[in-house]
Amino acid sequence: MDLMTPRRIRRTLLTYVHGKKLFLRFDPDEEMEPLNSSPQPIQGMWQKEAVDRELALGPSAQEPSAGPSGSGEPVPSRSAETYNLGKIPSADAQRWLEVRFGLFGSIWVNDFSRAKKANKKGDWRDPVPRLVLHFSGGGFLVFYNCQMSWSPPPVIEPTCDILSEKFHRGQALEALSQAQPVCYTLLDQRYFSGLGNIIKNEALYRARIHPLSLGSCLSSSSREALVDHVVEFSKDWLRDKFQGKERHTQIYQKEQCPSGHQVMKETFGPPDGLQRLTWWCPQCQPQLSSKGPQNLPSS
């Protein structure tokens, strides 16, 4: 069955979260019927796929991410054309939908995102969801600005997830000891799953580490402090989001640091990898030499 066919489908749902990715498994169909037929009470979860504006499986409009992995940086405008995932895998296969939130992805619970300002044409157009999942109890989830694809069963590594209770500090510290800029290592999802550009900037500033400092030139105490700030900032941000509080950054997208120094901004990234905007304070985060491990001023 093609995902663009409007249907009501009774399914049970299994979820896994890993870093910036959400994995959804839809168990084999128990009931299928056209959406235009009379609604019948069903158990578990049911999914709508439609091509109208509110229930479209299509690219959404500009929407900053609601989580700590997002940046709030501008995203190119896209049309409201439908987004086809292809056919659902056969009933004997495990059907995992991999949702990648990247910089701007978000999930809205029992509500739709609304336009906060007019676009360049002066239109107040609401963002278009990629997917809407409805539940028999009346609740629903709306997915925006995310990439989706069918995938095999996920390989979950909680030891590298910065918000997991099983996050392995020793593994993270070993990764940070590499002879490469720490700002590269922090964004490597193999070691710091879920860590995004905002967290990178904030943790480096709080640890007083220059983004281009080689991990091998940092003292063990400096690497320990960096991991502490990564975890602490991430947990605090998540707590504040649940409490409806706005995020408060010290260096990200700032012109001055909390000490009043001029902030620098430049794009950094591995030669064969993603280049990301980085903010740092040259006075609070001095550049280190490559002569050997050095301690940094404490925050």
- The pLDDT, as a whole number, for residue 263 is 98
- Rounded mean pLDDT, 56-73: 37
Whether residue 137 is found in the same domain as residue 47: yes
Strand partners of residue 7: 34
Residue 297 within a domain: no
Please name the helix (run of DSSP H) or strand (run of DSSP E) that holds residue 265, with its range, or none: strand 264-268
Range of the domain at 117: 1-156
Residue 134 within a domain: yes
CA dihedral 144, 90, 18, 45 (to 10 degrees): 60
Taking only the tens place, the pLDDT of each residue in 44-61 is: 233 333 222 222 333 333
Closest by Cα among 232, 228, 225, 203 to 295: 225
Taking only the tens place, the pLDDT of each residue in 204-241 is: 999 999 999 999 999 999 999 999 999 999 999 989 98
pLDDT band at 2 (very low <50, low <70, confident <90, very high): very low
Q: How many domains does the chain have?
A: 2
Whether residue 165 is found in the same domain as residue 91: no
- The pLDDT, as a whole number, for residue 87 is 52
pLDDT band at 10 (very low <50, low <70, confident <90, very high): low
- The pLDDT, as a whole number, for residue 185 is 97
Pairwise CA distance, residues 63 & 81, whole Å: 17
Is the pTM here over 0.95, yes or no?
Answer: no
Residue 68 within a domain: yes
pLDDT band at 26 (very low <50, low <70, confident <90, very high): confident
Taking only the tens place, the pLDDT of each residue in 95-111 is: 788 998 877 788 888 99
